[in-house]
């Protein structure tokens, strides 16, 4: 999309969502503009879907997600400028106190995703540092080499200090003190505390026994602790006199949170995460390759519904538990291959110029960037045949990879470049994953080649 069209697109978007007065919060993620709307009925999603530069729309509670793709940052800036929105800040058009959202499963997923998503680049960057160190050693460089030692040190940092990173992002998500959130995470991995854990020393706090748990590389305890801290800190901030607020609020908040975190929240969340991981491992071991196939076939629809970040959270938990991940990261690359095959075949078969261009652009986005939203929203969900191809290709490809017990040895996105994360598991491990990708890619293409009909894409008529 040419830069000159950003202003035109932003103006039309604001109009079609009911005007800037209908927006209570506006932000964006990797590929989507995210509008929290006061009145969902004012949004004209059918018209938005037809805009040039928009790949589709999706609802998540009261949030309208507009799929843009790689240009989302530039479009976001244009919309902020056109609508007078403050970036990442709530619109102050309505000064009334917003209604508190009801507790629901979707709100839990949104909270977890909002806290975890910002730190994914840190985890991926340090993971690839680890991969680089591994490749250099396989090329003959000694483990005692200074470069290898530094790369290993940096690679371990991302996961080790995960509680601090989560403390910051969770605090931002729950609208509480970021420095206190980071402090909670830092205390949980304090070297003195970890030494006591490793040596089996018992600690107590105000007479309460402290659970001796190693929280390094663990995000869930900090996430829950910060979620609990948010209303406590807000209450203190609203009721403590201004003269002593700057001292009393952080002191009392920390004083309250320490026993809650180390005697209740931390150990409970750690135990929950451990058993959750064990449960998924049990399902994987019980159903084997069929389990991976089913997960891969379902993954695109989880992405469409916005629930895929929950799987990322699970995958990171499983990775920190096992040291490798045999399900979600495996399925992610395979479904990217499947979507690439679908878009390439649609681009080849269709006579519609707009659909051809959209499909080929989505194909390139999937292959180069590993981003499947343009393919899913721009092509796949607009025809039953492409949906069937997604299910067939994903299932067959996932079964192949699962049959070979393919596993990722680093946290990754879903790009083909991330196949290097399978190298530490050996040549066979890498080849099984590549085989799964090829089966998904080819089977989806063959199915569409045999069944494609122009009239299936009724939205283009």
Indicate if 227 and 321 belong to the same structural domain. Answer: no
Annotation says 29 is catalytic: yes
Indicate if 275 and 311 belong to the same structural domain. Answer: no
**How far is Cα 72 from Cα 6, in angstroms, rounded to an integer?**
10
What is the Cβ-side half-sphere exposure of residue 246, based on CA atoms within 13 angstroms? 1
The residue among 99, 132, 150 that closes a domain is 99
Lowest mean pLDDT among 79-88, 99-108, 171-180, 203-212: 99-108
In a domain, 305, yes or no: yes
In a domain, 460, yes or no: no
In a domain, 106, yes or no: no
For 311-346, write each residue's pLDDT tens digit: 676 777 777 777 888 888 899 999 999 999 999 999
Q: Are 412 and 320 in contact (CB under 8 A)?
A: no
The residue among 79, 99, 119 that closes a domain is 99
In a domain, 328, yes or no: yes
Per-residue confidence (pLDDT) for residue 445, from 0 to 100? 96
Indicate if 176 and 80 belong to the same structural domain. Answer: no
Residue indicated by tokens 């105000």: 206
The H-or-E segment that residue 210 falls in is: strand 208-210
Q: Are 354 and 49 in contact (CB under 8 A)?
A: no
**How far is Cα 410 from Cα 414, in angstroms, rounded to an integer?**
12
What is the largest distance, in Å, between two alpha-carbon atoms of the chain? Answer: 75
CB atoms within 10 A of CB 185: 28
The residue among 99, 122, 139 that closes a domain is 99
In a domain, 402, yes or no: yes
**How far is Cα 188 from Cα 8, in angstroms, rounded to an integer?**
49
Q: What is the mean pLDDT of the chain?
A: 82
Indicate if 437 and 295 belong to the same structural domain. Answer: yes
In a domain, 342, yes or no: yes
Query: What is the number of domains present in the chain?
Result: 3
**How far is Cα 18 from Cα 436, in angstroms, rounded to an integer?**
45
Indicate if 40 and 94 belong to the same structural domain. Answer: yes
For 103-118, write each residue's pLDDT tens digit: 555 566 566 666 776 7
For 152-196, write each residue's pLDDT tens digit: 899 888 878 888 998 998 898 888 999 999 999 999 999 999 999
**DSSP H helical ranges for 54-145:** 72-83, 105-116, 120-138
Indicate if 293 and 401 belong to the same structural domain. Answer: yes
Indicate if 194 and 92 belong to the same structural domain. Answer: no
Indicate if 436 and 302 belong to the same structural domain. Answer: yes
Range of the domain at 85: 3-99
The residues, ordered by sequence, that sit 6+ positions from 289 with a Cβ below 8 Å of its Cβ are 398, 399, 400, 401, 402, 403
For 13-28, write each residue's pLDDT tens digit: 999 999 888 888 888 8
Indicate if 295 and 424 belong to the same structural domain. Answer: yes
């Amino acid at each position: 999309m040419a830069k000159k069209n950003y202003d035109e697109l932003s103006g039309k978007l604001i109009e079609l969502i009911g005007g800037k007065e209908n927006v209570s919060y506006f932000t964006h993620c990797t590929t989507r503009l995210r509008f929290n709307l006061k009145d969902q009925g004012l949004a004209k999603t059918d018209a938005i879907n037809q805009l040039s530069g928009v790949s589709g729309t999706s609802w998540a509670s009261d949030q309208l997600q507009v799929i843009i793709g790689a240009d989302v940052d530039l479009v976001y800036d244009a919309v902020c400028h056109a609508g007078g929105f403050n970036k990442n800040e709530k619109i102050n058009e309505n000064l009334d106190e917003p209604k508190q959202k009801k507790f629901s499963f979707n709100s839990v997923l949104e909270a977890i995703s909002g806290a975890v998503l910002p730190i994914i680049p840190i985890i991926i960057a340090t993971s690839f540092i680890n991969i680089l160190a591994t490749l250099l050693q396989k090329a003959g460089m000694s483990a005692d080499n200074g470069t290898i030692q530094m790369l290993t040190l940096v690679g371990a940092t991302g996961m080790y200090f995960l509680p601090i990173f989560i403390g910051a992002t969770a605090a931002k998500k729950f609208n509480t003190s970021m420095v206190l959130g980071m402090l909670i995470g830092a205390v949980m991995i304090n070297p003195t505390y970890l030494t006591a854990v490793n040596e089996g020393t018992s600690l107590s706090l105000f007479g309460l026994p402290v659970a001796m748990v190693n929280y390094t590389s663990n995000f869930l305890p900090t996430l829950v602790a910060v979620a609990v801290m948010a209303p406590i800190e807000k209450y203190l901030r609203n009721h403590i006199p201004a003269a002593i607020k700057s001292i009393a609020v952080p002191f009392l908040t920390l004083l309250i949170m320490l026993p809650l975190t180390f005697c209740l929240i931390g150990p409970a969340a750690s135990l929950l995460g451990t058993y959750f991981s064990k449960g998924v491992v049990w399902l994987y071991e019980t159903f084997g390759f069929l389990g991976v196939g089913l997960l891969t076939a379902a993954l695109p629809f989880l992405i469409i519904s916005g629930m895929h970040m929950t799987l990322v959270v699970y995958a990171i938990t499983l990775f920190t538990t096992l040291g490798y991940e045999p399900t979600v990261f495996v399925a992610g690359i395979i479904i990217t291959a499947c979507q690439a095959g679908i878009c390439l075949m649609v681009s080849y078969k269709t006579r519609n110029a707009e659909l051809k261009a959209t499909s080929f652009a989505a194909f390139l986005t999937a292959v180069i960037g590993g981003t499947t939203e343009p393919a899913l929203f721009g092509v796949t969900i607009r025809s039953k045949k492409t949906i069937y191809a997604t299910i067939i290709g994903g299932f067959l490809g996932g079964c192949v990879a699962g049959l070979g017990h393919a596993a990722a040895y680093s946290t990754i996105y879903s790009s083909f470049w991330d196949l290097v994360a399978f190298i530490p598991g050996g040549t066979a491990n890498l080849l099984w994953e590549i085989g799964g990708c090829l089966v998904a890619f080819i089977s989806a293409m063959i199915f569409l080649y045999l069944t494609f009909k122009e009239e299936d894409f009724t939205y283009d008529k």
